[in-house]
Amino acid sequence: MATSPRKHAVPAPGETPRRQVINDLAASINDFVPVANVTERAQLLADLAAQNPPFVPSPARPLLVYRADAPAPNRLEVNDGAGFRPVAPVGGTFVGTLNQFGQIAIPHGLDYVPTMASVVMSLDLASGTIGEDIPRDYVATVYTITAVEIRARITNIRVSTWAGNGLRVALAWTAR
């Protein structure tokens, strides 16, 4: 066996092709696999783990899938051993009300825990009333990321000033 410049397992010069060499070549091609949804993606991962030798995604050999039911910019997903995540960053804007501790939960709609998230509080809202009096030194920071939501806290906020007033803020978020 030899390795091609594209990192495929190929027969060595003069080696007689065997069935195992052809299997190794096919297994070494790291193309993306089209899947319909997360169920088919999970089945693919299980099928790959059950083959001989088993394939387990790693940084050296990631698994790439094209998931048809994912949002348009995030259909290409990668698993490098740490679970699936979109190749492109995901994000959105969320407008909500802070609780009495200056915190807000941002639902992200992903089916996994993002590896990174950041939020930025917006003071320029279309209505001109939501959060218009928020001092500019207040900053939104992430403190919890789950498979369902990102929790952010507004730092430097004087909770006593805003408690019970239903302060609404807009947060733009990104995650990977």
pLDDT in tens, 88-100: 877 888 888 778 7
Rounded Cα distance, 41 and 34, in Å: 9
Structure-block tokens of residue 24:
């190794």
pLDDT of residue 20: 78
Mean pLDDT across the chain, nearest whole number?
Answer: 78
Task: Give the CA distances from residue 87 to residues 58, 65, 77, 121, in Å, rounded to whole numbers and listed in that order.
Answer: 15, 10, 5, 25
pLDDT of residue 162: 52
pLDDT of residue 163: 46
Whether the pTM exceeds 0.85: the reply is: no
pLDDT of residue 125: 46
pLDDT of residue 110: 78
Structure-block tokens of residue 124:
């320029």
pLDDT of residue 43: 93
Structure-block tokens of residue 134:
């928020």
Strand duo 33-35 + 63-67: pairing: parallel
pLDDT of residue 54: 85
Local mean pLDDT, 10-residue blocks, the chain (176 residues): 69 79 75 90 91 86 90 84 84 80 84 80 52 64 90 72 60 79
pLDDT of residue 67: 92
